[in-house]
């Protein structure tokens, strides 16, 4: 990353935090439409280990992972994308930069890293249904609305960027988790 994208990211961080996340990663763009994506009771949470999840499915391009873990559904950068972002941020040192430039980079890297090291979470109890229809995963909230729509990573909407077999397995596991919570 060069200084200008970092300064732009720093200027956008307050708005990004308020909308749960919107920022720039080493492999592409992560953007959220807060109105459609992540209304309460969705929250920004910590990163989840995919091996411990009940099910974790990758997007076709490998940029994100949707997972079901205990009593929540989460969307996060894939381990590969997250690792790439961390390596590129670590490797992007400008030894010729002045003190102010290095301080700004450190602050922005810290903020960006903390945002991208998390996940968007939604409690299973607050979801009425998860289904696969019209080549996408649909997350229906208790009030009949939808969540996780309009989460774009690298120009692909996450809920549309999954293989059908993976999506159907995710739906089956969601219904099992929902039954356990009743």
Query: Are the beta carbons of 37 and 120 closer than 8 angstroms?
Result: yes
The residue among 8 and 39 whose pLDDT is bigger is 39
Pairing outcome for strands 136-141 and 127-133: antiparallel
Please state the rounded mean pLDDT for residues 102-120: 74
pLDDT level of residue 10 (50, 70, 90 thresholds): very low
Give the percent of the chain with pLDDT over 70: 70
pLDDT at 146 over 70: yes
pLDDT > 70? residue 21: no
Q: What total of structural domains would you count in the chain?
A: 1
> Residue 28 has what pLDDT?
46
Looking at the predicted structure, is the pLDDT value of residue 44 above 80?
yes
Range of the domain at 20: 3-181
Among candidates 101, 109, 105, which has minimal Cα distance to 24? Answer: 109
Confidence of residue 55 (pLDDT cuts 50, 70, 90): very high
Q: With contact defined as beta carbons under 8 Å apart, do 35 and 154 qualify?
A: no
Residue 95 pLDDT greater than 70, yes or no: no
User: Which segment, 39-48, 80-89, 96-105, is predicted with the most confidence on average?
Assistant: 39-48
Q: Which pLDDT band holds residue 22 (cuts at 50, 70, 90)? A: very low
Q: Is 51 exposed, middle or buried (0-12, 13-18, 19+ CB in 10 A)?
A: exposed
134 membership: H or E segment, kind and range: none
On whether the CB atoms of residues 137 and 60 are closer than 8 A, the answer is: no
Whole-angstrom distance, CA of residue 78 vs CA of residue 91: 20
- Helix, coil or strand: residue 159: helix
Quick one: pLDDT at residue 65? Answer: 95
Residue range 34-51: mean pLDDT, rounded: 77
């Amino acid at each position: 990353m060069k200084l200008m994208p970092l300064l732009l990211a720093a200027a956008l961080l307050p708005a990004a935090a308020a909308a749960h996340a919107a920022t720039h990663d080493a492999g592409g763009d992560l953007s959220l439409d807060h109105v459609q994506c992540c209304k309460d009771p969705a929250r920004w949470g910590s990163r989840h280990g995919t091996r411990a999840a009940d099910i974790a499915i990758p997007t076709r391009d490998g940029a994100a992972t949707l997972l079901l873990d205990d009593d929540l559904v989460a969307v996060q950068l894939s381990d590969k994308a997250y690792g790439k972002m961390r390596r590129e941020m670590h490797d992007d040192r400008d030894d010729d930069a002045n003190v102010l430039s290095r301080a700004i980079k450190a602050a922005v890297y810290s903020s960006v890293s903390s945002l991208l090291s998390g996940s968007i979470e939604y409690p299973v109890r607050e979801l009425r249904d998860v289904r696969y229809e019209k080549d996408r995963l649909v997350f229906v909230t208790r009030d009949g609305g939808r969540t996780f729509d309009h989460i774009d990573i690298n120009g692909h909407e996450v809920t549309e960027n999954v293989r059908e077999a993976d999506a159907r397995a995710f739906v089956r596991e969601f219904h099992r988790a929902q039954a356990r919570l009743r």
